[in-house]
Amino acid sequence: MAEGFTYVPEIELWKSLNVFYTSYGHLTRSKVLPEVVETAYAILQKIQETSEMFKGEVVKVGSSASKVSAMFDDESDVLFPIYIEGQIEATEDPEYVKFKLPKRCVKIWEICSDNEYLSPSKFSNHFYDLVNDCLEKLKPDGKIELEGKGTVAATLNCCHEKFDFSVDLVPAVRCKPWSTNPYWMTDKTRQWPPRDILASFIGRGTELVSKSSRGGGNNWRLSFSHAETELVTNATLIFPTFGKLLIIWKTLRKLYFSPQSRHCTILFKSYHLKILLLHEAIDNPDKEAWENQNLALRFKLSLERLRQHIKAGFLPHLFIPTVNLFSNGTPHFVLDHKLFTTSDLADVMRNIRKLDRTDFYPGGF
């Protein structure tokens, strides 16, 4: 246990966390986002009707799908995995692979390939062009603009009054077999995650997205967003405080640890917090430990887990444990915050909730 935590009045911290969650953590402001998502689904349906190659599943992923958005539900991620026959080839980077097409499929995917290898950049650019064509034909109500050519997603942006809303359409390759087996998936004695969810991962196969790699070329990024969304959704259902705790942490990050400039490397991400709490749930699968009366204890334990990972400079990828999620830099600055230096967490949380939110977001809400 971290220094000073023994003397924290747990009931006071519990009260402060609940008030903070109610006041800040779960404010849904988006009334327009569902309309943008509806447009996104219509575009994907149109693509499947008109394209011979891009026929796949439409899967809502991420925070919005799991209902763990912090403060604002103003964005949505939609994965569009397309099953393609082929073979994965490992690269020096365990997060990236090459995807080799069988000879009978090369002609079909000629526009998106370099010889026998499916090209991530050609694949995503062709998908972007299809989205753009469909958007022009659908002419949806409201001002929706498309951006993201050359990136992992085609993004639909909608400006409405003071708020911006976006939907990321992420095309993906789905192929067999499933590519990783971390310790917690192979240990059959573990109580969580449920075996049926793990079986669905394996049965579905590997998903690849067009995210640039240091190695460049035709390297595809292994994607686990679909699996992670299912884990977070299940954890929120099984463990009463999991979703609340994740929202509290993500809100704290937004208020204190997110950079003001978009042009800098983000060292402390909401993704880190999601993976941190999934590790916590895997290691502590007792449902009673996650009951609402234990919210303060779970917060302190997750705080200490985060401290240890930052001190070690290593946060393991959930599905590829040898990969360090702090590879771009360890957020040591986080440890200087009052959360990590106080002997009275309840007092810190009380002070946080009294602050005017416009202090953090110029221009107000």
pLDDT, residue 363, reads 31
Name the phi and psi angles at 9, rounded to 5: -65, 105
Q: Helix, strand or coil for residue 198?
A: helix
* Sign of the dihedral defined by the CA atoms of residues 44, 50, 51, 56, in that order: positive
Q: Helix, strand or coil for residue 346?
A: helix
pLDDT, residue 161, reads 65
168-178 pLDDT tens trace: 999 999 999 99
pLDDT, residue 115, reads 87
Banded model confidence at residue 23, pLDDT cuts 50, 70, 90: confident
Residue 330 is given by DSSP the state -
221-238 pLDDT tens trace: 999 999 999 999 999 999
pLDDT: is 164 or 341 the higher one?
341
Contact 305, 278 (CB under 8 A): no
Name the phi and psi angles at 236, rounded to 5: -65, -35
pLDDT, residue 349, reads 82
**Most confident of the following: 20-34, 124-138, 157-171, 248-262:** 124-138
Banded model confidence at residue 2, pLDDT cuts 50, 70, 90: very low
Banded model confidence at residue 165, pLDDT cuts 50, 70, 90: confident
31-49 pLDDT tens trace: 666 778 889 999 999 999 9
Radius of gyration of the chain (CA): 22
Average pLDDT over residues 343-349: 82
Q: Facing residues of 90 across strands? A: 97
Residue 307 token pair: 């401290």
Residue type (1 letter), 321 = P
Q: Using the predicted structure, report yes or no on whether residue 355 has a pLDDT greater than 90.
A: no
Q: Using the predicted structure, report yes or no on whether residue 244 has a pLDDT greater than 90.
A: yes
**Most confident of the following: 23-27, 39-43, 136-140, 342-346:** 39-43
Which of 6-20, 48-62, 112-126, 225-239 is the least confident region? 6-20
Closest CA to 79 of 98, 99, 62, 96: 62
187-221 pLDDT tens trace: 989 999 999 999 999 999 999 999 876 666 799 99
Burial 140-167 (b: 16+ CB within 10 A, else e): beeebebebeebbbbbbbbebeeeebbb
Contact 44, 80 (CB under 8 A): yes
SS3 string, 251-278, reads HHHHHHHCCCCCCCCCCCCHHHHHHHHH
pLDDT, residue 43, reads 96
pLDDT, residue 6, reads 42
Distances from the Cα of 226 to the Cα of 174, 286, 290, angstroms: 11, 24, 24
Q: Are strands 144-147 and 59-61 parallel, antiparallel or unpaired?
A: unpaired
Closest CA to 273 of 297, 305, 320, 241: 305
pLDDT: is 274 or 25 the higher one?
274
Q: Using the predicted structure, report yes or no on whether residue 358 has a pLDDT greater than 50.
A: no
This prediction's pTM: 0.91
Average pLDDT over residues 125-151: 90
Residue 44 token pair: 């994907």
Average pLDDT over residues 114-143: 91
